[in-house]
Structure 1
């Protein structure tokens, strides 16, 4: 996805649980009837493990003839991780990839030295109308991989290991948890979980990762007596174990991993450990030096 203009996320109110270091409230922006909440990056927290960007798309309903259309745009120095709860997006990129993502699957696009992609609604959904809700995250690449070869990987929903029972369902999307390991390729120690809890269900979270956060996508959760709703990003203290209890039916992501190998610069759709490299990417896009998406001649201009 291309970064759209949005207000920065804001820090939340005071909280009681000692295991929570910071609460960030994602700011919502309406993009013509389609709401996007941005939780990362924030002035209070730039990254959680390798995660440097997190947007929630929707929930939204599109009528027949309406569409979700993100025109071709570039990325460097990161991998985009797209995950849907509802709906469908057709991904096309400058490698010649064309892949529809549906709920439960993962699209992992590794930009490396540079890639261009579009994300659009398929023809059938445009005709019939559809609903959509999901998350898009960006993970920074290790310094030695920032200028690597671009690639794209699709992992079907059936490939994701799942823990179910006692009113909860947890899918391991990246990394390992609860004795389960995801098949999704990672370039850095990474944790990414999708948890769905019925009211009253409880999910204990160990402190296996150096950096962790919880993002609430739907419903409300309780941690040590504090209740958090949709759009809350809870940065957890290293080494602390806690239990999440669903106040209502709730859907949330757990994300994190090892501390990154140094700070990253982020501007528009570009991520790099070097500001000079981002300036070069800006010039390259403006001058048309990136590859194009076959069959999709549109593009998003460089922001001024």
Structure 2
């Protein structure tokens, strides 16, 4: 069993995330080149963990909440409050700027934020596409009960269901809830797949999986997942076709061309990538922008 273990990252102000991708042992799973698990974290009145305006190129951000809320705004004029169960897909393409902040009506409220932020690298032919933003409401995501599991097909096709979320390459993203003791067989759904346990304890094909580890699933056979212990399990499955070539990744930029990343850094430093309406702040370009 091939495992990817998380490493903790402080995004500022004590806002910690568990980062699974990119990893030294595995740079991507299908199109996904970035995987952060944040929370559960309590947001207190008057205290915010806002993400100021920052740029992206060559990728799509995929935001999914289990609890809480955040406000998305971007340089093409999108303004969307993100709530649990919805899929929010932002295509950066040739370049976009966005911010993620505490919704105004919750500034004086206490609540829990808990979710996942993924990046999908765009196929080479779409790296320079015009930026866009798509919100798919929670009630539009197809769900099914299968083998004692509640399955939401966030992206792609699985268990006889198809998500309405549009992608640029074959992609799979499932949210699966297992009751205590339940077991499910996961068929092969894509060229590359991985499973991540959000909460609870599981065995994969009879082997225990450590908390907050990502497991690379076999390409040639189904896998059996069983919830162990007294609690329920929440997990996600991600994957898709392998990338159409290597990707350079630096800061918030992803590209098949290192030169394009350098250019994006110069454009951001010169503030040529657009502005988010109503925003006056921005995250400055890190020194010594290098690929990683």
Does TM, normalized by the shorter one, top 0.5? yes
Contact residue 88 and residue 135 of structure 2 kept, 8 A: yes
Structure 2 residue matching 1:128: 3-state secondary structure: coil
Structure 2 residue matching 1:298: 3-state secondary structure: coil
Unaligned runs of 5+ in 1: 1-19
Pairwise CA distance, 1:34: 3.0
* Counterparts of 2:137 and 2:211, CA distance in 1: 27
Pairwise CA distance, 1:165: 5.4
Query: What residue is the counterpart of 1:7 in the other structure?
Result: none
Query: What residue is the counterpart of 1:274 in the other structure?
Result: 257
Pairwise CA distance, 1:123: 1.5
* Counterparts of 1:297 and 1:230, CA distance in 2: 40
Q: Deviations over 1:146-176 (max 9, x none)?
A: 0000000000000100012554211001100
Q: 2:95 aligns with which of 110, 114, 124?
A: 114
* Counterparts of 1:231 and 1:259, CA distance in 2: 24
Pairwise CA distance, 1:276: 0.5
Query: What residue is the counterpart of 1:15 in the other structure?
Result: none
Pairwise CA distance, 1:35: 2.5
Asked if residue 77 in structure 1 is aligned to residue 77 in structure 2, the reply is no
Superposition RMSD in Å: 1.2
Contact residue 62 and residue 131 of structure 1 kept, 8 A: yes
* Counterparts of 1:33 and 1:93, CA distance in 2: 24
Pairwise CA distance, 1:33: 4.3
Query: What residue is the counterpart of 1:251 in the other structure?
Result: 234
Structure 2 residue matching 1:127: 3-state secondary structure: coil
Unaligned runs of 5+ in 2: 288-292
Contact residue 33 and residue 60 of structure 1 kept, 8 A: no
Structure 1 residue matching 2:107: 3-state secondary structure: helix
Alignment of 1:191-210 (within 5 A): 191-210=172-191
Alignment of 1:223-234 (within 5 A): 223-234=204-215
* Counterparts of 1:33 and 1:267, CA distance in 2: 22
Contact residue 194 and residue 251 of structure 1 kept, 8 A: yes
Contact residue 184 and residue 225 of structure 2 kept, 8 A: yes
Query: What residue is the counterpart of 1:16 in the other structure?
Result: none
Query: What residue is the counterpart of 2:285 in the other structure?
Result: 302
* Counterparts of 1:120 and 1:41, CA distance in 2: 25
Q: 2:72 aligns with which of 78, 85, 91?
A: 91
Contact residue 208 and residue 239 of structure 1 kept, 8 A: no
* Counterparts of 1:71 and 1:82, CA distance in 2: 16
Asked if residue 25 in structure 1 is aligned to residue 8 in structure 2, the reply is no
* Counterparts of 2:213 and 2:110, CA distance in 1: 29
Contact residue 210 and residue 258 of structure 1 kept, 8 A: yes
Query: What residue is the counterpart of 1:10 in the other structure?
Result: none
Asked if residue 214 in structure 1 is aligned to residue 195 in structure 2, the reply is yes
Query: What residue is the counterpart of 1:158 in the other structure?
Result: 139
* Counterparts of 1:280 and 1:165, CA distance in 2: 48
Return closer, same or farther for 1:249/1:229 CA change in 2, 3 Å cut-off.
farther
Query: What residue is the counterpart of 2:44 in the other structure?
Result: 63
